[in-house]
Structure 1
Amino acid sequence: MGQAKKIAMYLLVIFVLYTIITAPVRAADLVQVGFTGISNAAKSVGTFMSSLVK
């Protein structure tokens, strides 16, 4: 199980590096979308917690 997890991580890192090298603009767009999603999720959690306190 541990060996498979290590291999999967290596493959993921290789894929990410390949994507960044071959299509840097697309990779930047994907990172921006990811950070936007995380930001929206954090705002939603904050709004939810605020509504619980009121």
Structure 2
Amino acid sequence: MSALLIAGSPSERSRSAALLDAVSQRLHARGALADRIHIRNLSPQALLLADFGH
């Protein structure tokens, strides 16, 4: 099983980031793969234009 964790907070350290860390650790403990995307690292223009190739 694999999961994609999406962090939407604009700050580096947030409560939701801490929650995603805990979820990721639990998934890894059960043998699942977890990848994370930080929305703040994505291009605003690509998000607004729905540029899936970015």
Higher helix share: 1
Give the number of the structure with larger relative contact order, counting CA–CA contacts within 8 Å between residues 6 or more apart. Answer: 2
Q: Into which bin does the TM-score normalised by the smaller protein fall?
A: 0.3 to 0.5
Larger Cα Rg: Structure 1 or Structure 2?
Answer: 1
TM-score normalised per structure 2: 0.35
TM-score normalised per structure 1: 0.35
Higher strand share: 2
